[in-house]
Structure 1
Amino acid sequence: IWATGACGGVLTQHPGKIFNYDGPQRECVWTIKVKPGFHVILAIPPLHLTCGKEYVELLDGPPESETIGKICGGINLLFRSSSNTVTLKYLTTRDHRASPFSIYYYADPEGPLPFPYFERQARIAKESNRP
């Protein structure tokens, strides 16, 4: 698994892992791009971020795409992008030290969802766990 703790960037190697950045920047943006004809699958273990001070935002596509949800804690989440690109943003307040987190990603061929779990989890991410 390819891994990065850098604050943002365009990630094309997969499978991969993004883990918390603990530096001076307060906003990190990672754009994950896989080959055309594939989707990005995100596996997000329960986050234990300090709600109100930090969160991870999930966007289905490039950075200017619609937000799927903002997550600071809670459930295991599996998400399948609608295209070959997904963006994750980590934001924290100036006075807060980053909490540890890990997010895993890999490429999945286009086609029907293997089971409805992905759709349900995407809906949960959008409706809950907003800081």
Structure 2
Amino acid sequence: MVFQDAIYDPTAAYLHYFYHPLAAGAHETRSSVWYAAGLLQRNRGDDVYEAVRILENVIGDQKKNPSVLWYGDYTKYPEQPIVGTAVYPAVIYNSWDPNWRDFIGTVLIIIYKEFRPLLPEHLQSCQST
């Protein structure tokens, strides 16, 4: 948590991607969700508030178009271009990774199971794929 606290960007409500500037984006989704779980576990000061902001961002960025292969997936980083466009062609395990549904979905299940009383109603009732 000490390391993650140091790389958290409260303006974006995501962790900075610790490989940036070598990475494509300044922030990273998967680590941010794990950080949210840690914040809920620690539950001090603004921890729950920041965890909710992260979760709202990540859930809000889930791909919801059932006609594309990356349906239900999450962006690798919030600055990511739209998958399947000319500037960001759909390349499995490159521009999108179906495993991220599982990586992030598993953390969301843990958060829901372990920390549900800390979550606002709108996060508890989110429909997920």
Tell me the TM-score normalised to structure 2 length: 0.31
- Between Structure 1 and Structure 2, which shows a larger proportion of helix residues? 2
Answer with 1 or 2: which has the greater Rg: 2
RCO (CA 8 Å, sep 6+): is it higher in 1 or 2? 1
Tell me the TM-score normalised to structure 1 length: 0.31
